[in-house]
Amino acid sequence: MAEKLSNSIVLEVKDSGVCTKEFAVKIDAETAKNEQKKVVSYIAGVASIPGFRPGKAPAGMVCKKYAAEINEELRNRFVGAAVAKIEADDALDLFSLRFKEFGEIKSGEEFSFTMEGIVAPEINTGDYKNLKVDVPVDAVEEKAIDERLDMYRSMYGSYADVEGAAQAEDMLKVDYKGAYDLPEDASASLKRQIEAKDAFMWLNEPENIPGCIKALTGAEIGKEYTFDAEYPADYREAELAGKKISYTVKVSAVQRRKQLTDAELVERTGVADLDTLRDNIRKGMELDAKNQQRRNAAEAVFAKLNEQAGEFDLPEALIENEVQKLLQQKAREIVKSDEDAEKFKAELADHRAAVEADAKKAVRRALILRQIAKLENITVEDKELDEQLQMMSRYYGCKPNELRDMLEKSGSIDELRADIVNGKVLEKLTEAAIA
């Protein structure tokens, strides 16, 4: 229906801004009149009007009683037909359409309205198929393998009581208490942060209590120590964020991790011998180096794409969307309390200025890769989207269908599809560039 009606639509297209087109839509009086008859006939067939069988009520009565419904249906038909005609134009690369002006529908008269669309700019992709980059793979040195082995010897080792002063990386058994009045409704984690007995405190990052590493390095069994802890403004316990609290700590034991011997390490990792373990480590590090090379090569490929694309206009609406996304990310990082929220609002202009350059870079990158995807007919299969949702759901700790529903409701599912497409484009170009 929309396709047939679209053939009768007169469409005038003109530039109305950067990467913006205005579409003036006209439906002549005869077409509008015929379409209204179809709508009235349809509504008369399903409407219930006392005294008349379905489809037998006079058209005038139907038009009077269901005027709003008739106009809504006509509006939907005209808009659907206009969108179909606009989208059928292969020369237009649309991102979005919205109403600009929508007049009143009057029976038997010509009807017109305008829409505005965001379109992709013209981009010079150059000879993207024959790009070449030379990005070497970092060699895996024996020293790096030795350092990895030492890390495993410590990581798999167990703690044991030691005499003497505590050192960095040691674990202390302590009683501690902070000079802080807890609220009556304090959570168990907040209470534990302020006071505990027979607790273990590690002298490594992340610190159990801010400043404990510096204060307790050199601590001895049986002695008591006092220090001030300065909690950061974004501390996980909002009650303590930004506060300075004095702590008293009594040390009852010092434990140090004992490094495994080669024989113990071989047994702990379940390999035949140390040479086998070294070989496994080497292979893993070589794979990491190869993956890093691919990431570096992909960025080198895009740098060449970006250079040969030259200057082109960026749709302001896309930049604004990206700015809002980056601002939301920054807010999640900074805002931990009502006070933080008010401060963030007060400094919004500064935050916006800080993310605008990154927003423009992100939009430019997406447009370049999107253009090549269209030229190469690279799309996302449902299976690929499902696999990505599976991985993301494990990270966020939810079911894939729940994540999909959330992304669809927020309108982010199309962004995910675009990200997958862009990744496929870079992967294909990188494969050819390093071959």
Averages of pLDDT over each 10 residues, the chain, 435 residues: 74 91 92 87 78 73 82 88 88 87 79 92 93 94 95 91 94 96 91 96 93 96 96 87 95 94 94 96 96 96 96 94 93 82 92 95 96 94 92 87 89 90 95 90
Report the candidate in 230, 233, 225, 235 with the shortest Cα–Cα distance to residue 189.
235
Domain boundaries, the chain: 2-119, 158-257, 272-433
Q: How far apart (Å, rounded) are the C-alpha atoms in residues 76 and 99?
A: 12
Decide: 121 and 367 in contact? Cβ < 8 Å. yes
Decide: 221 and 256 in contact? Cβ < 8 Å. no
Which CATH number applies to 2-119?
A: 3.30.70.1050
pLDDT score at 92: 86
- Each as own residue / partner, the long-range contacts of residues 196-200 (CB below 8 Å, 24 or more positions apart, any chain) are 198/173, 198/252, 199/173, 199/174, 199/175, 200/171, 200/172, 200/173, 200/174
- What are the residues facing 39 on neighbouring strands? none
Amino acid (one-letter) located at 310: G
Beta-carbon count within 10 A of 355 CB: 18
Report the candidate in 265, 270, 246 with the shortest Cα–Cα distance to residue 176.
246
What predicted TM-score, i.e. pTM, was given to this entire model? 0.75
Decide: 63 and 98 in contact? Cβ < 8 Å. no
pLDDT score at 3: 53
Which CATH number applies to 272-433?
A: 1.10.3120
Q: How far apart (Å, rounded) are the C-alpha atoms in residues 432 and 93?
A: 27
Q: How far apart (Å, rounded) are the C-alpha atoms in residues 166 and 221?
A: 9
pLDDT score at 397: 83
Q: How far apart (Å, rounded) are the C-alpha atoms in residues 126 and 307?
A: 10
Helices (H), 26-91: 29-46, 59-65, 67-87
Q: How far apart (Å, rounded) are the C-alpha atoms in residues 312 and 120?
A: 10
168-187 pLDDT, tens digit per residue, is 999 999 999 999 999 988 89
Q: Which CATH class is domain 158-257?
A: alpha beta
